[in-house]
Amino acid sequence: MSALVDRQNGMSGLHRAEWRRFIYKEGVTEEMIRQNIMCGFNSPPSQSQLHLQWIVLPLLPFHHQKLLDRTHAQKGRWFPLEYVLPILDHLEQAGEVFEVNGQTSAEDVIKHFNGKGIVYDHIWEQSYARYCASYAAVANWNPQAWRRCYTSTEGRNKKL
């Protein structure tokens, strides 16, 4: 499974030494990279279809700032794989089906599975904290590499 994940999700490209030095701090291992993957679904789905988003962290500085501002992988819209897998396990083990249709909202799903002990807010917060922490843990972004990179601080833009 790990080899399939690596091949289909961009891990093989991380073996290029120049790119790896640019993106990752010295000493970052492949296991650390695997632990810093943002994986989940949006609801409603982007591009009008449900698809698994597999994002190898760290994010680019612009997107990392969106993450810190809570406008990326938004609560109530982003369903981390860490949330979805326990739901699927529960449904399989209980022999249950959760019927959905075009009117089923994300809130309906969250409410139903909160009642089964799979608490969305708790899992989302843990996942989100891990995503945010990945930048400090593995990123090697040098502000000099970004000629026009701005970040928002206390409502003000500042150049890095």
Q: Does the pLDDT of residue 6 top 80, yes or no? A: no
Which pLDDT score, from 0 to 100, does residue 51 have? 85
Q: How far apart are CA 79 and CA 81, in angstroms?
A: 6
* Structure confidence by residue, pLDDT tens digits, 14-40: 778 888 888 899 999 888 988 899 999
Domain extent listing, the chain = 2-159
Handedness of CA 26, 57, 149, 65 (dihedral sign): negative
pLDDT greater at residue 127 or residue 60: 127
User: Which pair of structure tokens corresponds to residue 5?
Assistant: 């994940």
**Percent of the chain scoring above 90 in pLDDT:** 51
Q: What band does 1 get if pLDDT is binned at 50, 70 and 90?
A: very low
Nearest alpha carbon to residue 22 among 139, 155, 154? 139
pLDDT greater at residue 60 or residue 128: 128
Reduced 3-state DSSP string for the chain? CHHHHHHHCCHHHHHCHHHHHHHECCCCCHHHHHHCEEEEEECCCHHHCCCCEEEECCCCHHHHHHHHCCCCCCCCCEEEHHHHHHHHHHHHHHCCCCCCCCCCCHHHHHHHHHCCCCCHHHHHHHHHHHHHHHHHHHECCCHHHCCCCEEEECCEEEEC
Q: Does the pLDDT of residue 3 top 50, yes or no? A: no
pTM: 0.80
